[in-house]
Amino acid sequence: MKRALAILSIVTLSHFASAQAIKDFGRDRLNSSPRHGDWVEYKSGARTLKAFVVYPERKDKAPVVLVIHEIFGLTDWVRSLCDELAENGVIAIAPDLLSGQKFEDVDGARTAISALPKEQIKADLDATAEYALTKIPAASGTLAVCGFCWGGGWTFAYANENPKLKAAYSFYGTAPDTADKVKNIPCPVYGFYGENDERVNATIPKAEELMKAAGKKYEPVIYKGAGHGFMRDGESPASTDEHHAANVKARDDAWARWKTLLKALG
């Protein structure tokens, strides 16, 4: 894959495998991909954001999916998932919401992301959406959003903030709990959840109630036996997660569902 050199705040996970295995996780896909990937920069107010963009191989313009990373940051795994999205016909753009900051460990990144002002996150996502819709010539004008863990929660929240969205794919992120957090959602929200993740799953029933009352489409699916983070763990080559086998199946099933939904974007 053709990639411009850049220094980003790439942080890695610690509880699934050895440090080296985690560090390299996702790189093989990126390095062997036939698709074109770029680092790009654009403004969010006075800040300069960095983002990773991967393009599909298709002869017509493509929809764009804005990818919101986990609380661990824009890891190699998130970038490899962008490549997998592009393999399925869409342009994927993942902003580094810690642009300008660098960390050596997971706790540092988690702490920094947890401290990001909500107004700044929204502004950065707005800037990314605007870049996707106006600065990427190969984009068709159709925009969707997805996110994982912390980013999954933000996916649901951001769906209420951007009227241009055509779909939202929330992976094991907490769901809204008040009517004002869903009233402006312009698009279907598709949820992907692991059975062994009650912290997150406990928020689903209220969101179902709120979305139904507001006349919105929300389709949550809970994958049997899977734990939190199953999309990542389900393809980890060195996972020690007790739910790994179930996570592998959940990831495969979730991708089968997601591919169908992505095709509907155009």
> What would the DSSP string read from start to end of 159-199?
HTT-TTEEEEEEES-PPP-SGGGTTT--S-EEEEEEEE-HH
pLDDT score for 72: 87
177, 203 Cβ separation under 8 angstroms: yes
Specify the pLDDT at position 15.
34
**Phi and psi at residue 34, to the nearest 5°:** -80, -5
> For the packed helices 150-159 and 118-134, what is the interaxial angle rounded to 10 degrees?
70
List, edge to edge, every strand of the sheet that includes 91-96.
Answer: 37-44, 47-54, 91-96, 62-68, 139-148, 165-171, 189-196, 218-227
**Token pair belonging to 219:** 């389709």
Predicted confidence (pLDDT) per residue in 220-255, tens digit: 999 999 999 999 999 988 888 899 999 999 999 999
**Which position has the token pair 């006075």?**
46
pLDDT at site 207: 98
**What CATH code is assigned to 19-263?**
3.40.50.1820
Pairing outcome for strands 165-171 and 139-148: parallel
Contacts of residue 109, defined as CB under 8 A and 6 or more positions apart, other chains included, come to: 9, 11, 71, 72, 73, 98, 103
Backbone angles phi, psi at 155, to 5 degrees: -60, -50
**Residue 35 near residue 57 (C-beta atoms within 8 A):** yes
Q: How far is CA 8 from the centre of its chain?
A: 17
Q: Where are the alpha helices (DSSP H) in 91-184?
A: 106-114, 118-134, 150-159
Q: Which residues contact 126 (CB under 8 A, 6 or more apart)?
A: 44, 161, 162
- CA-nearest of 71, 232, 229 to 150 is 71
pTM of the model as a whole: 0.91
Kindly report the backbone phi and psi dihedral angles of residue 145, in degrees, each rounded to the nearest multiple of 5, phi listed first.
Answer: -135, 145
Q: What is the mean pLDDT of each run of 10 residues along the chain (266 residues)?
A: 34 34 72 95 97 97 98 92 98 95 78 94 98 98 98 98 98 98 98 98 98 98 97 90 94 98 96
- 97: helix, strand or coil: coil
pLDDT at res. 24: 60
Give the pLDDT confidence of 146-177 residue by residue, as tens digits: 999 999 999 999 999 999 999 999 999 999 99
